[in-house]
Chains A and B, each alone.
Chain A
Amino acid sequence: MPFIELKNVSFKYPSKQAIEQLSLSIEKGEWVAVVGPNGSGKSTLAKLIIGLLTPQSGEIFVEGEKLTPESVNEVRQKIGIIFQNPDNQFVGVTVRDDIAFGLENLQVPYQEMLTRIDTYAAQMKMTEFLDKEPSNLSGGQKQRVAIAGALAMQPEVMIFDEATSMLDPKGRLETLQAMRELRAQKTTLLTITHDLKEALQADRVVVLNEGQVLATGTPREILTNIDILTEAKLALIEPLELLNKMEEAGISSQEWEAKLWQFALTL
């Protein structure tokens, strides 16, 4: 049984058809990266999965349970999400309140709550900002707080909607490492991103275009395919560009391929 399953889902905003007849299933513990052009429906997809938006047609299942107005609260407890704009996430007056809020909703015991706040604030290097107002933080600091808050909930599914877009190079690598650790702990991951080096780390890449799945496959299948990349406004990352050109020139070998691929994963 897939952990998340969408069957023929369509969603229309008053001014725009955002998702059209989309079907997708994600296994437990799988890391799926979602990529695609601006406006292709990635954030809408995330909001449908957490039940923040309701499809006009089609069905969504989480762990076999159908998303309905009755089940949505229970289902949402299993899913942590980091919104594209961290400002839309904050509810607390301070960073500490903000992280606590999510935990109170989950009825985490008080002592455990304090421990988690400390642990995840430290992991995201936000300890010294715990008493600050989220709205007064820099862009990258806001993203770090949003990530800390979602991690602290220790959900079964984590959705990152462009959560690394404003992090500095070190912060970005640390967050990628956190994603790998979640993956190792069998957390199901859905990472929406324009960073194709992030998508490279996933088990599977789903390409959205105009509200539909244009392609799905392993990072290797998708991220070296020029036709897909061009159509979905993506790009060839440099080591893969080199690999493609080496193949064209007939100078590639399994050894080169393995080396370049490994190198690409460090970027």
Chain B
Amino acid sequence: MAIRLDAVSHRYTSMDGSFFQAITDIHLELGQQKEMIALVGETGSGKSTLVQHFNALLTPSSGTVEVMGIKINQETVKAKSFKKTPIRQHVGLVFQFPEYQLFEETVLKDVSFGPKNLGLKENEAILKAKEALFQVGLNETYFERSPFQLSGGEKKRVSIAGILAMEPDILILDEPTSGLDPAGQKALMDLFLSIHQKTKTTMVFITHDMNVVYRYAKRILVMHQSKLVYDGTPQELYQMPELRTWNLDLPDSLKLQTFIAQTLQLKESLLESSVDDLITLIKEEGRL
């Protein structure tokens, strides 16, 4: 299961006929290594547009996306035989705004829609849906409620459960932690990590929170002004001077380590020190 992008660009057309180029000439491969991949970049840099190409929600204006060997480009989508459904079943995408995803009368119906569509029997689909809802922290008191009459964070959880219930091979999460309470942010990222470890699902998550990157990403992609400007390890990215021009930031852990090193007037860098390491260090050196 892999996704390959070859020279992919996307232009939005407005009502008045004008164009806006949201992503430009993207070359990218993912899914081969079964990784946890973070996708970051400034507001409007093209992240949401990019990931909507991974499951054929958007067709590239030019270039080709290849998912599970199926080629998606301006030519192929015209063919009568072209079907998007199998792609959507293998590549699950959780939207940035849960409102774009929710549509059923009740929470349980909404979350069981995906597995039912995959051909599961009603009762099996319901079972999968219940399991996914429990996983995201919603108990049976939510099952019969309308997904539209929930708080922001509750809606987010339902939209995540809806995709988890489909058990996709590749899971794309557009800002999964925004709107969640701090304990929920950690619980859900830990959940994605454990699913990834158990099932070897490739995960791509968009985030603005560099602490989430620091804790969960092995590989990081950076978008800047519609272009993919970095594809590598987070550790190398933290050292790059471009970090600021790309409107990114360092994780709090690294800032804290640097702050302690400066306060203690240490020469060496404290990269990768935990809070407990810092305690030990301050015990030894800590007279201010």
Hey, which bits of chain A sit against chain B, CB under 8 A? Answer: 13, 15-16, 36-39, 42-43, 84-85, 87, 132-133, 136-141, 144, 162, 165-172, 194, 196, 233-235, 237-239, 241-242, 245-246, 249, 251, 253, 255-256, 259, 263, 267
Q: How far is the CA of A15 from the CA of B150 in the complex (A)?
A: 10
Interface string of B249-281 (1 = CB under 8 A from A): 100110110010001000000000001101100
Contact of B184 with A140 in the complex, beta carbons under 8 Å:
no
Question: Across the interface, which residues of B come within 8 angstroms of A233, CB to CB?
Answer: 181-184
Q: How far is the CB of A126 from chain B (nearest CB, A)?
A: 10
Indicate if B14 sits at the interface (CB-CB under 8 A). Answer: yes
Q: How far is the CB of A27 from chain B (nearest CB, A)?
A: 27
Question: Across the interface, which residues of B come within 8 angstroms of A144, CB to CB?
Answer: 43
With contacts A39-B153, A162-B152 taken as known, whether A84 is within 8 angstroms of B282 at the C-beta atoms is: no
Q: How far is the CA of A259 from the CA of B262 in the complex (A)?
A: 12
Q: How far is the CA of A257 from the CA of B41 in the complex (A)?
A: 34
Contact of A234 with B97 in the complex, beta carbons under 8 Å:
no
Indicate if B44 sits at the interface (CB-CB under 8 A). Answer: yes
Contact of A170 with B247 in the complex, beta carbons under 8 Å:
yes
Could you say which of B183, B255, B288 contacts A255, with CB atoms under 8 Å apart? B288
With contacts A172-B208, A235-B182 taken as known, whether A246 is within 8 angstroms of B43 at the C-beta atoms is: no
16 more CB-based (< 8 A) A-B contacts, given A166-B96, A168-B43: A13-B149, A15-B146, A37-B153, A38-B157, A39-B151, A85-B152, A140-B42, A140-B208, A194-B153, A235-B182, A238-B253, A238-B256, A238-B275, A245-B279, A251-B279, A263-B255
With contacts A84-B152, A170-B249, A246-B282 taken as known, whether A141 is within 8 angstroms of B43 at the C-beta atoms is: yes
Question: Across the interface, which residues of B come within 8 angstroms of A171, CB to CB?
Answer: 42-43, 247
Smallest CB gap from B255: residue in A? A267
Q: How far is the CB of A232 from chain B (nearest CB, A)?
A: 8
With contacts A141-B43, A245-B276 taken as known, whether A237 is within 8 angstroms of B282 at the C-beta atoms is: no
Question: Across the interface, which residues of A come within 8 angstroms of B259, CB to CB?
Answer: 239, 263
Q: How large is the interface on B (under 10, 10 to 19, 20 to 34, 35 or more residues)?
A: 35 or more
Could you say which of B154, B253, B276, B282 contacts A39, with CB atoms under 8 Å apart? B154
Contact of A242 with B247 in the complex, beta carbons under 8 Å:
no
Question: Across the interface, which residues of B come within 8 angstroms of A241, CB to CB?
Answer: 275
Q: How far is the CA of A196 from the CA of B43 in the complex (A)?
A: 21
Listed residue (A132, A136, A194, A239) with the most chain B CB atoms within 10 angstroms of its CB: A194
Q: How far is the CB of A17 from chain B (nearest CB, A)?
A: 12
Could you say which of A39, A139, A165, A246 contacts B48, with CB atoms under 8 Å apart? A139
Contact of A242 with B175 in the complex, beta carbons under 8 Å:
no
Indicate if B15 sits at the interface (CB-CB under 8 A). Answer: yes
Smallest CB gap from A140: residue in B? B43
Q: How far is the CA of A102 from the CA of B288 in the complex (A)?
A: 53
Contact of B96 with A38 in the complex, beta carbons under 8 Å:
no
- 11 A-B pairs within 8 Å (CB atoms) are namely A38-B152, A38-B157, A39-B151, A133-B15, A138-B44, A167-B208, A168-B41, A170-B247, A172-B208, A242-B275, A245-B276
Contact of B283 with A249 in the complex, beta carbons under 8 Å:
yes
Q: How far is the CB of B176 from chain A (nearest CB, A)?
A: 12
Could you say which of A39, A237, A242 contacts B278, with CB atoms under 8 Å apart? A242
With contacts A241-B275, A251-B286, A253-B288 taken as known, whether A139 is within 8 angstroms of B175 at the C-beta atoms is: yes
Q: How far is the CB of A160 from chain B (nearest CB, A)?
A: 13
With contacts A38-B184, A242-B279 taken as known, whether A169 is within 8 angstroms of B210 at the C-beta atoms is: yes
Question: Across the interface, which residues of A come within 8 angstroms of B283, CB to CB?
Answer: 249, 251
Contact of B181 with A38 in the complex, beta carbons under 8 Å:
yes
Contact of B152 with A234 in the complex, beta carbons under 8 Å:
no
With contacts A136-B12, A167-B208, A169-B248 taken as known, whether A15 is within 8 angstroms of B181 at the C-beta atoms is: no
Question: Across the interface, which residues of B come within 8 angstroms of A162, CB to CB?
Answer: 152, 179
Contact of A87 with B99 in the complex, beta carbons under 8 Å:
yes
Q: How far is the CB of B243 from chain A (nearest CB, A)?
A: 10
Contact of B181 with A36 in the complex, beta carbons under 8 Å:
yes
